[in-house]
Structure 1
Amino acid sequence: MAGEAAPVLAPVSSGAIRMDADALNAFLADAFPHSKPGSRGHVVLAEPGHLRGRIDPNEQALRPGGLISGPTQMGFADMAAYALVLAHIGPVAMAVTSALNYQFLRPCRPGPLFADAHMLRLGKRLAVMDVRIWTDDADKPVGQANVTYAIP
């Protein structure tokens, strides 16, 4: 009806995952053997519909002004989304980023960086996720990404 708000879709939250945090970290290490240890981050928690990642950026990840660079934040958001897709579909290396839109919300100060990725829709060919990047307070994200993955 006219004037009514569109319904809000609940995130995917039911069903079992096919890969836990340890399996995801092992897969990422094998799939990206040329990455420097710690440069891509790691999975801390994987559960249906949600994944938490952590990265400890080094000095090379800093931009002028001493803040964590945009490419570091966006790459970390992409890794978290990729790992969340794999947690649900299994070790499918050729699931690829189809779209990534990133919003910088606050200055990203040096220190541990966390990602909370939530599955919004998991279809046969596409997965859509919301990823919030934060430092010391999950309620105050430094960045937010909408990420879509194409599933082969």
Structure 2
Amino acid sequence: MTLKMTAEELDAFMHREFPQMAVDFAIDRLAPMEIDLRLKVEDRHLRPGGTVSGPSMFGLADCAIYLATLAMIGPQGLAVTTNGSIDFMRKPAAGKDVVAKCRLLKLGRVLAVGDVLMMSDGMDQPVARATMTYSIPPR
């Protein structure tokens, strides 16, 4: 399988279509069926106690699967989440970015299924794990 979009093209797509979110994320690595996406943690991502909020980590996982899918199928803005599940395992490190390591497990004609492991930058232990399914619009 080959990529249909580069990291630069994905970043430009996000800035054009989702400018309100694009500034939160950076692509660390892109390969066929895989992406490492970084949540650039700011104060707005924190919950009381100074840790990264659950909704911020869910958004990171969702965006990682979305971008991994688009990298393989091309810029289709109407690909949408149809299912998502997340397990929070431990508190993210204070003041550190969260890195999502995403891999697509299935990329079909109408569905993409992916798995995301999230870690605080510099930590070996995962802070969360998510699985998501995306619906791919008809061509």
Greater strand proportion: 2
Distance 1:95 1:108, change over 3 A: same
Q: Is 1:144–2:137 an aligned residue pair?
A: no
Which has the larger helix fraction?
Answer: 2
Cα offset, 1:37, TM superposition: 5.7
Quick check: 2:14–2:22 contact (8 Å CA) kept in 1?
Answer: no
Match of 2:107 among 102, 122, 127: 122
Aligned to 1:54: 38
Alignment of 1:61-100 (within 5 A): 61-100=45-84
Counterpart of 2:118 in structure 1 is 133
Tell me how large the CA RMSD over aligned residues is: 1.4
The change in CA–CA distance for 1:37 and 1:130 in structure 2 (over 3 A counts) is: closer
User: Number of matched residues?
Assistant: 136
Deviating 4+ runs (over 4 angstroms):
none
Deviations 1:62-98 (A, max 9, x none): 1011110000000011011100000000000000001
* 1:31-54 C-alpha deviation (Å, 9 max, x unpaired): 113x16622x12222111210111
Seq. identity, %: 37
Query: What's the TM-score, normalizing by structure 1?
Result: 0.85
Mapped contact 1:53–1:114 kept (Cα < 8 A): yes
Instruction: Look at both structures and tell me which one has the larger radius of gyration over its CA atoms.
Output: 1
Unaligned runs of 5+ in 1: 1-14
